[in-house]
Amino acid sequence: MGNTIAEKIIKAHLVSGEMVAGQEIGLKIDQTLTQDATGTMAYLEFESMGIPRVKTEKSVAYIDHNTLQSGFENADDHRYIQTVAAKHGIYFSRPGNGICHQVHYERFGKPGKTLIGSDSHTPTGGGIGMLAIGAGGMDVAVAMGGGAYYIPMPKMLKVELTGELQPGVSAKDIILDVLRQLTVKGGVGYIVEYAGEGVKKLSVPQRCTITNMGAELGATTSIFPSDEQTRAFLAAEGREEDWVELSSDADAVYDKTITVDMTALRPLAACPHSPDNIKSIQELAGGKIDQVCIGSCTNSSVADMVKVAAILKGKKIADNVSLSISPGSRQVFSMLAECGALTDMIDAGARVLECACGPCIGMGFSPNSAGVSLRTFNRNFLGRSGTKDGQVYLVSPETAAASALAGVFADPSELGEIAVPYELPEKFRINDSGVIEPLDEEAAKTAEVVKGPNIKPFPETRPLEDKISAEVILKVEDNITTDHIMPAGAKTLPYRSNIPYLSKFCFEVVDPTFAERAKAAGSGIIVGGQNYGQGSSREHAALVPLALGIRAVIAKSFARIHAANLVNAGILPLTFANPDDYNLVTQGGTITIDNIHRDLAEGHFTAQVNGHEVELVTTLADRQKEILLAGGLLKYTSGK
């Protein structure tokens, strides 16, 4: 039996376990990335391991999420990351150099290698044939120290691409169609592999749009073959020597296959407040809009930006629309300047922002009350834009640009040839002035790591108790995201290294009284529905509940990264054996789970819930059970 592309890379990096779906496997990690919002924690965790130099082939620390520096907190965090990177063998990508995923595939990623990153969109690297996976900061810290990265062996899902994109239809519409077919839960437990005749016609930036937003499927990662398109892209980046060919075997077996007919595809939008709430632009056409934001790690390549500029050229955006454009990297930005596309954007009335995450993570540019915002981004979760009743639609750059001109939802396929994909140049403008190399081993020995006063110690974890009897502080519905649990945005991002302060905002958009009530109770349980913790990789969504005394989270099902983060933080994640038992739980009631140590081995627990006996289960791997008993990953790792 042949192998899929992902199976080939896994095989070459397997350090423990068997490649049997659902069983835990350990992978050797070649590269890591962090960004500033998760990086401070990850490096504090790495430092606590006492390892002088990273053991990966390449580790890169990016500053891209919070570049506002609206106070000393942020600037201090950046200085900390820069100094800790220099000392421990990590490349540092300065603020303004670009969004981690965009810069990583341009300058560092290599086909066939493994990459984990403390950001859920790390799978973007799958567009150049990497096995690139989003992880919590602690897992990244362990990988930097040479430890393996553990995941349940995923199943394989094939997306067969047929036909050819028509003018005005783009890679974004392909992934929106996949989301329509599979939903935000449809990728859980799978690696999504793209195959078929259509693949050859997609350039690397187009592929990266698709793999990036595969995160919204809940998939472990997504991957494309490494072929002539990949070689051409790497050659244009001056790194042809990094190319290797990668393809699946003809007799590779997939657990599931879906098809996207690119010829039949029309421009689509993900409507509020979920990336799988898909409608066609035709259905929405003519609807009023207030704001358009172009950029983010999904759609900020030079190919996307040049198309946008071509649509805007010589025209003026509608009076009712505010348009922002953030190029994905310094490389993209300078190429736009060089070819004149930047002038076309400026002249059309765009506000050109820094190469950073910006509006995507609520760093300014929040829409007006109930405002309709069209964004080329990947997430439209409730409140993420910074405006709770903001109506965010996720669209392609072509749809965004056409709508910014029209002042209403507009279908770019009516623009004809202007919206035809841009041919990548043979050479990109390469300028690595935004990347600082680490110190050599000798200099690193005496180098100082600078920590500002905003960096507070890591919250205390505790070994798993034998009995948990605690109040249900919060009961929530299906598809709760990490943006609900630990909101980001300009108000809170400066405090990503200050858990006590951050904890005030926990679940703010769902129930502003949560933090106070949890603190007052001293210990507590959260109960959730399906796909609890989808979205971001931020381990803060586990560390903050930990600091607020949460001992266990019981849900119908969990998103992969969040479940791993809970375990790493020493919080017990359990699922209902019978999902209907969720209905027996009342917020404010007490749940008691006895004999936890005895029952952990089998993974079956009996809980007392409002006078009923309820069966709870866990499918955690033995290693994860040991982590819980030790009191979290850091204690487990240091005790070894």
Contacting residues toward ligand SF4, per CB under 6 A:
65, 99, 119, 121, 296-297, 357, 360-361, 377-378
Q: Classify residue 68 by burial, with Cβ atoms within 10 Å: 0-12, 13-18, 19+.
A: middle
Q: Provide the 8-state DSSP code for 154.
A: P
Select from ligand MIC, ligand SF4, none the partner in contact with residue 38, using the beta carbon and a kind-dependent cut-off of 5 to 8 Å.
ligand MIC
C-beta of 152 vs 187, nearer to ligand SF4: 187
With 0-12 CB in 10 A as exposed, 13-18 as middle and 19+ as buried, what is 194? Answer: buried
Q: Which is nearer to ligand SF4, 277 or 280 (CB)?
A: 277
- Based on CB atoms, which residue is closest to ligand SF4, 491 or 598? 491
Pattern 19-38, ligand MIC, x by CB under 6 A: ------------------xx
Binding to ligand MIC by residue 110, rule CB under 6 A? no
* Among 87, 104, 121, 625, interactor with ligand MIC by CB under 6 A: 121
101 touches ligand MIC (CB under 6 A): no
Of 195, 246, 488, 547, the residue at the interface with ligand MIC (CB under 6 A) is: 488
Minimal CA–CA distance to 554: which of 616, 627, 508? 616
Residues 6 or more apart in contact with residue 338 via CB below 8 angstroms? 429
- Exactly one of 120, 380, 503, 568 binds ligand MIC (CB under 6 A); that residue is 120
E strand spans, 508-571: 524-528, 550-555
User: Which of 361, 468, 470, 566 lies at the binding interface for ligand MIC (CB under 6 A)?
Assistant: 361
**290/294 Cα distance (integer angstroms):** 14
Residue 331 identity: Q
- Evaluate whether 319 touches 407 at the Cβ level (below 8 Å): yes
Strand partners, 268: 280
Stretch that binds ligand MIC, among 117-125, 313-321, 346-354, 548-556 (CB under 6 A): 117-125
Sign of the alpha-carbon dihedral angle for 449, 454, 455, 456: positive
H or E element, residue 471: strand 468-475
Closest C-alpha to 254, from 617, 1, 519 = 1
- Looking at the DSSP assignment, which residues form a beta bridge with residue 558? 532
Report the relative pairing of strands 256-261 and 155-162 from DSSP bridges. parallel
Residue 296 interaction partner, one of ligand MIC, ligand SF4, none, beta carbon < 5-8 Å per kind: ligand SF4
Residue 457 CB neighbour total at 10 angstroms: 11
In the shown chain, the binding pattern of residues 56 to 85 toward ligand MIC, with x for contact by CB under 6 A and - for none, equals: ---------x--------------------
Length in residues, the chain: 640
Q: E strand or H helix at 303, and its extent?
A: helix 302-312
Give, as ranges, the residues between 267 and 296 that touch ligand MIC (CB under 6 A).
Answer: none
- Closest approach, Cβ 481 to ligand MIC, in A, equals 8
For the bound state, the minimum distance from the C-beta of residue 615 to ligand SF4, rounded and expressed in Å, comes to 37
**Cβ atoms within 10 A of the Cβ of 244, count?**
14
- What is the Cα–Cα distance from 539 to 44, expressed in whole angstroms? 13
| Smallest distance from ligand SF4 to CB 537, Å | 9
Q: How many CA atoms are closer than 13 Å to the CA of 159, on its beta-carbon side?
A: 32
Residue with tokens 């494309």: 224
* 538 touches, from ligand SF4, ligand MIC, none (C-beta below 5 to 8 Å by class): ligand MIC
Query: Which lies closer to ligand SF4 via its Cβ, residue 229 or residue 298?
Result: 298
Residue type, 57: E
Query: Between 248 and 301, whose beta carbon lies closer to ligand MIC?
Result: 301
Residue 484 near ligand MIC by CB under 6 A: no
Residues serving a catalytic function are 64-65, 119, 379, 536, 538
Q: Using the rule CB under 6 A, which residue among 59, 102, 124, 536 binds ligand MIC?
A: 536
Comparing CB distances to ligand MIC, the nearer of 297 and 634 is: 297
Per-residue binder mask for ligand MIC (CB under 6 A), 35-54, x = binder: --xx----------------
CA 490 and chain centroid, separation: 18
Residue 119 Cβ, how far from ligand MIC at the closest point, in Å? 4
Between 38 and 203, name the residue whose CB sits nearer to ligand MIC: 38
Determine the size of the site formed for ligand MIC (CB under 6 A).
Answer: 13
H-run or E-run covering 599: helix 596-600
Residues lying near ligand MIC in the complex (CB under 6 A): 37-38, 65, 119-121, 134, 361, 488, 535-538
